[in-house]
Amino acid sequence: MPVQHLPTGIDLYYESHGTGEPLVFIPATGFAGNVWLPDQMPELAESLQVIIFDPRGCGRSSHPRTVYTIEQMARDTITLLDHLGIEAAHVLGHSMGGRIGLAMALDFPDRVKSLILAASGSGVAGYPAPACVAGLPEQLARSLAIMGLEGYVRHEICETSTYFGDAYRARHPERVAAFHALAWEHHAPIESYMSLCVARHTWEATHRLGDVVVPSLVVIGDGDVVGRSHVPQAEILARRIPGAELKVLPGQCHGFFWEAPRETNAWIRDWVQRQA
């Protein structure tokens, strides 16, 4: 699949699979588009045009040594749609990818058919005190200093309930290990990862949620409470975005795409079909 030079100044690796309503997947901080390949792409591409890509700083895309912003990455995604000749697409953003999707919906509403905000937020104003301060979280910086990036990513995926619940990790260690290998294969290097984290923690759009005009689905696992809980952030999104739907996944954590792929794919397909 190609690497496309974009007017935003970066070379972006992307893949497009299937035909039908276009659905863009935007991954979480540091992850590349390959995390969607085993579980989401094959099934959803049977009825949709599934577009995945490596955000700037990740995988096979450019790794510019400069400041990264959420708005920048939203423009990257819009210019990818331009390259593909897609006037408007459904957008699914996971975690930081949801912030990018939200920026697209706010700044380019005519390019977004619908928006799925999966385990995401609108900025630090949605965090409880004392975490509601812009900047790199002290806990993250300390963990990276102690474990290094690879150790930190392995710990988050394989040894905590961040992505997979305790019971699931105990029953399916091979699935958890496979996902870690997949995520690490094209993960952002440390320099880019830090730039992505700063972009994530300095972006704020909570005050603009009332301006969102595209159909929006907010999805959260009720077990997504490790570290900075995503549950209250999801509740803010659902409450403040006009007409937003809230979908709470019982027993799921931050990685419900990979812990329950069949169920997840079903509601993604249903949402896109309802908004087509």
**CATH number assigned to the domain comprising residue 185:** 3.40.50.1820
Q: What was the pLDDT predicted at 236? A: 96
Residues of the chain with pLDDT under 70: 1, 126-136, 227-228
Q: What was the pLDDT predicted at 271? A: 98
Q: What are the pLDDT digits (tens) for 116-159? A: 999 999 997 766 655 665 666 778 878 888 999 999 999 999 99
Number of domains in the chain: 1
Longest dimension (CA), the chain: 47
Q: Which helix (H) or strand (E) holds 5?
A: strand 3-5
Quote the CA–CA distance of 37 and 4 in Å, as a whole number: 20
The answer to whether 92 touches 116, Cβ cutoff 8 Å, is yes
Task: Supply the range of the domain harboring residue 130.
Answer: 3-275
Q: What was the pLDDT predicted at 186? A: 98
Q: What was the pLDDT predicted at 139? A: 80
The answer to whether the bond into 64 is cis (omega within 30° of 0) is no
pTM for this model (two decimals):
0.95
